[in-house]
Chain A
Amino acid sequence: MTDIASRGYSNPDVLVSTDWVAEHLDDANVRIVESNEDQLLYPAGHIAGAVQVDWATDLNDQLRRDYLQREGFEELMSRNGITRDSTVVFYGDRNNWWATYAYWVFQLFGHSNSKVMDGGRQKWEQEGRDLVREVPSYEKTSYVAPDRSDAPIRAFREDVLGHLAEGGQLVDVRSPQEYSGERLHMPDFPNEGALRGGHIPTARNIPWARAANPEDGTFKTATELKDIYLNEQGLTPDDDTIAYCRIGERSSHTWFVLTHLLGFKNVRNYDGSWTEWGNLVNVPIEK
């Protein structure tokens, strides 16, 4: 039994170890995808054969505040040599923060054969494994994606309002300072700003990174995660859950944890998050 399999996760298959990745570097059916916060990391050195998916330029629509549409996703898959049958393994910096964001966007298009490398870049580097600067080139594929399906895992503001009215559970994964409204945003980042500070009423504040072990970036065990999300914060796996942060990236990490590691039944990521809610007129806010 591998370490991952012994941790008690609801869906352990969604994680692979660094050993597994090292053993599958030449597996044509596996495409390794690096997704980082720091745009310099991939070009400065990445796992051999890995391609990069950039959250800003690849996953976001460049005009509207939205994700790419089916055609854009198909093109992204095609140019990275990914087929509908490929096993896509995500990894990245910051405890796989952006890797789980990319993973979540891929699920909007139903690429369910997706996994995350536990520990991400941090663990790979700590183990002294090779990084290369050569950018791989793959033959284009003809990837046919379904239309983007938001409803199962993505929440919009009307969904949040409805959820709130029904007493649904909410998780605010931002820092305590953001949750309390003490900190809004940096003046130099008006695009990520909000006019009001605070949080959506009833939301529990569980900063996203609590799910990871800081020493190697791996996910905590199911027992440790249950201690945080269930015992300490009182969340119920059978109840519908909406997670949010500032723009929806940190909350995709929590979405991943709740959905796959703890087996919550219905978790949605509100990617509008505080940059939408904190600017809306006449919505309830708590401080």
Chain B
Amino acid sequence: MSEPQIPQALTELLEEFSFLDRNERIDFLIEYADQFENVPENIALRPYPEERRVKRCESQAYVWAEDNDNGTQKYYFAVENPQGISAKSFCAILDNTISDATLEEVLQISGDLVFDIYGREISMGKGEGLLGILTSVQAFARQASKQHQS
């Protein structure tokens, strides 16, 4: 049996990123941020509950997960700070690449993802917030995975 991998769509995105220079990468991320849509109203309404808020994220990001019938999850995000453009781009990337991936694949994603996407020069505060978004997503995946096993 092969080792679990990170979601295929994320692998492909990282490969694409590896060919981009810094300015191209920034343009690419802004395109993602432009695509970002807040959580739909059928999932959550403002004011969003504090327990969904990502800790230490200055962009006031929130994360939700909805279980799919096939055992995967669909993730939803909100970013309440209008200047939280990196958070928006990261949420859009996660939505596009890991929603509907297996829980095992989601749990395989390393925190290095933030550096792979945003570069090592990202500030600690900003990186901490983005890592918090990933950690929140993985907390949902971990919880669902445990429920499946029990």
Which residues of A are interface residues toward B (Cβ below 8 A)?
37-41, 43-44, 56-57, 93-94, 121-122, 125, 185-186, 188-189, 191-192, 246
Asked if A188 and B131 make an inter-chain contact with CB atoms under 8 angstroms apart, the answer reads yes
Given contacts A39-B118, A44-B33, contact A189 B85 (CB under 8 A): no
Q: A189 near B27 (CB under 8 angstroms)? A: no
Task: Give the distance in Å from the alpha carbon of A44 to the alpha carbon of B33 in the complex.
Answer: 9
A56, A57, A125, A185: the one contacting B83 at CB < 8 Å is A125
Q: Which of B5-13, B42-50, B96-104, B120-128 lines the interface with chain A? A: B120-128
Task: Choose among A38, A94, A122 the residue that contacts B85 (Cβ–Cβ < 8 A).
Answer: A38
B26 touches A188 (CB 8 A): no
B115 to chain A, nearest CB (A): 8
- With a CB–CB cut-off of 8 A, which chain A residues contact B123? 37
Question: How many Å from the CB of A101 to the closest CB on chain B?
Answer: 11
Contact assessment for B124 and A39 in the assembled complex, using a CB-CB cutoff below 8 Å: no
Q: A39-B26, A39-B122, A40-B26 are in contact. Are A122 and B127 (CB under 8 A)?
A: no
- Known contacts A38-B86, A40-B85, A44-B33: A189-B127 contact under CB 8 Å: yes
B127 CB to nearest A CB, Å: 6
Offer 6 A-B interface pairs, CB within 8 angstroms, sorted by A: A39-B26, A40-B30, A185-B124, A186-B124, A188-B112, A192-B124
Q: Interface residue count for B (Cβ, 8 Å)? A: 29
Are B82 and A56 in contact, with the CB atoms below 8 A? no
B73 interface residue (CB < 8 Å to A): no
CB pair B121–A40 under 8 Å, yes or no, is: no
Do the beta carbons of B29 and A40 come within 8 Å of each other? yes
A121 to B83, alpha carbons, bound, how many Å?
8
> Which A residues are CB-close (under 8 A) to B58?
94
Structural contact, B26 and A122, CB atoms closer than 8 A: no
B83 touches A41 (CB 8 A): yes
| A-B interface contact total, Cβ < 8 Å | 56
**Residues of chain B from 76 to 110 with CB closer than 8 A to chain A in the complex:** 82-86, 89
In the bound complex, residues from chain A placing their C-beta under 8 Å from that of B23 are 43
Interface residue B4 (Cβ < 8 Å from any Cβ of A): no
B71 interfacial contact with A, CB 8 Å: no
> Is the beta-carbon distance between A43 and B26 smaller than 8 angstroms?
yes
Let me know if B30 and A186 touch, CB within 8 A.
no
In the complex, chain B residues whose CB is within 8 Å of the CB of A37 = 123, 125-126
Q: A186-B131, A188-B111, A188-B131 are in contact. Are A93 and B26 (CB under 8 A)?
A: no
In angstroms, Cα B126 to Cα A56, docked, is 13
CB–CB A57/B127 < 8 A: no
Tell me the smallest distance from the CB of B36 to a CB of chain A, in Å.
Answer: 11
Q: Are B126 and A38 in contact (CB under 8 A)?
A: yes
The CA of A185 and the CA of B125, in the complex, are separated in Å by 10
Q: Are A40 and B86 CB-contacts (below 8 A) given A56-B121, A57-B121, A94-B58? A: yes
Query: How far, in whole Å, are A191 and B131 apart by their CA atoms in the complex?
Result: 16
Chain A residue nearest in CB terms to B31? A44
Q: Which 10 A-B pairs have the closest CB atoms?
A: A56-B121, A40-B85, A189-B124, A192-B124, A44-B30, A188-B111, A38-B86, A37-B123, A43-B26, A40-B86
User: Quick check: B124 and A40 within 8 Å, CB to CB?
Assistant: no
